[in-house]
Amino acid sequence: AAGVIQSPRHLIKEKRETATLKCYPIPRHDTVYWYQQGPGQDPQFLISFYEKMQSDKGSIPDRFSAQQFSDYHSELNMSSLELGDSALYFCASSKTSGSRLGQYFGPGTRLTVT
Amino acid sequence: QQPVQSPQAVILREGEDAVINCSSSKALYSVHWYRQKHGEAPVFLMILLKGGEQKGHEKISASFNEKKQQSSLYLTASQLSYSGTYFCGTEKYGGSQGNLIFGKGTKLSVKP
C-alpha cells in the first residue's frame, strides 16, 4: 500500500538559511499535518491542511509557512533557520471526512542546523 | 492541554503483559495510539472514538472509558518487536480535523 512520502530525508543547513520540506500524502487522503519532534520529545503539531485549505495552526513559528497544492502535496518552508530548529519533521496524512481514521506518518525529514 | 501518560517507562521480559494509561482532565473527541521506534516515524496502532469502546489488534488492545477522559493500551504476551515508545494522541471537541496533542510517551523495553 502507498505510504506518505517525504523529501528530502536529511537536510543540513546553516543558521539564517532557508529550507523547504516536501510531503506527498497517501492517495485520497484529504488532510495533511506537519509535526516537529525534537530529540526525546513528543511530536508537536505545527499546521494542518484540509482539502488544500489551512485548517489549524499549532506551535508554528512565524518564520515557517506551509501550503498545500492542487495535487495535494504539501511544502513546509522554513526561513531564518535557528539552531533550535534542528529536529525531525514529520508529515502525516489522514482521511477525515466521513469516518475518522488514524494519521499515517511519513518517514520524516531530519533537519540539522549548524 | 497535553494528556498525561503513565508509566514513563517500563521494562518487560518476553511474554509479560503491560498496561499504558493516557488521561485528560476534559472529555476527548478521540484517542489515537502510536508506537515509535528510535529514529523512525510513529506507526498508527488504533483510534478510539466512543465512550466504553474497546478495540483489539492482535495482542495489542485498547479501551476508552465511558467519560472519554482516559484510555488504556494493553500489551499481552509481549514480543521483542513491541519495544519502542508509545504515544497517545488526543483530539479535543471543537478541534479542527483531527489535530492531535501527544502525551510525553511511554518507553517500553522488552528483553529476551
Taking only the tens place, the pLDDT of each residue in B3-52 is: 999 999 999 999 999 999 999 998 888 999 999 999 899 999 999 988 88
Q: What is the pLDDT of residue B26?
A: 87
Q: Is A90 on the interface with B (CB under 8 A)?
A: yes
Q: What is the pLDDT of residue A51?
A: 87
Grid coordinates representing B87? 504515544
Task: State the amino acid at position A44 in one-letter form.
Answer: Q
Q: What is the pLDDT of residue B97?
A: 62
Asked if A46 contacts A66 with a C-beta cutoff of 8 angstroms, the reply is yes
Give the CB-side neighbour count of residue A79, counting CA atoms within 13 A: 5
Q: Which residue would you say has higher pLDDT here, A97 or B92?
A: B92
Distance of CA A57 to CAs A35, A54, B1, B75, Å?
A: 11, 8, 15, 34
Q: Which residue has the cell 492482535?
A: B58
Q: What is the pLDDT of residue A98?
A: 60
What burial letters (b/e) apply to A22-31, b meaning 16+ CB within 10 Å?
bbbbbeebbb
Asked if A80 contacts A16 with a C-beta cutoff of 8 angstroms, the reply is yes
Pick from B47, B99, B104: which is nearest to A100 by CB?
A: B47
Q: What is the pLDDT of residue A55?
A: 87
Domain-by-domain residue ranges, chain A?
5-113
Q: The domain A5-113 is classified under which CATH number: 3.90.1530.30, 2.60.40.10, 1.10.3720.10, 2.40.160.20?
A: 2.60.40.10
- Chain A residue whose CA is closest to B5: A42
Q: What is the pLDDT of residue B96?
A: 61
Task: State the amino acid at position B22 in one-letter form.
Answer: C
A31-37 and B101-102: which strand pairing?
unpaired
Q: Is A107 on the interface with B (CB under 8 A)?
A: yes
pLDDT tens-digit series, residues A7-19 = 999 999 999 999 9
Q: What is the pLDDT of residue A110?
A: 97
**Structural domains of chain B, with CATH:** 4-111 (2.60.40.10)
- On chain B, the residues whose CB falls within 8 A of the CB of A93 are none
pLDDT tens-digit series, residues A24-40 = 999 989 899 999 999 99
Task: State the amino acid at position A71 in one-letter form.
Answer: D
Average pLDDT taken over every residue of chain A: 93
pLDDT of residue B91 exceeding 90, the answer is no
Task: State the amino acid at position A39 in one-letter form.
Answer: P
Q: What is the pLDDT of residue A24?
A: 97
Grid coordinates representing B35? 508506537
Q: Which of A88-97, B51-60, B62-71 has the lowest mean pLDDT?
A: B51-60
Q: What is the pLDDT of residue B99?
A: 80
Label residue A68 by pLDDT band (50, 70, 90). Answer: very high
Instruction: Report the distance separating Cα A100 and Cα B65, nearest Å.
Output: 19
Q: What is the pLDDT of residue B51?
A: 81
Q: What is the mean pLDDT of residues A72-90?
A: 97
Grid coordinates representing B34? 502510536
Grid coordinates representing A17? 538559511
Q: What is the pLDDT of residue A95?
A: 85
Determine the residue among B20, B53, B100, B106 to mutate to test chain A binding: the one whose Cβ has the most chain A Cβ atoms within 10 Å.
B100
H/E stretch holding B52: none
Helices and strands: H and E segment counts in chain B: 0, 11
Q: What is the pLDDT of residue A79?
A: 97
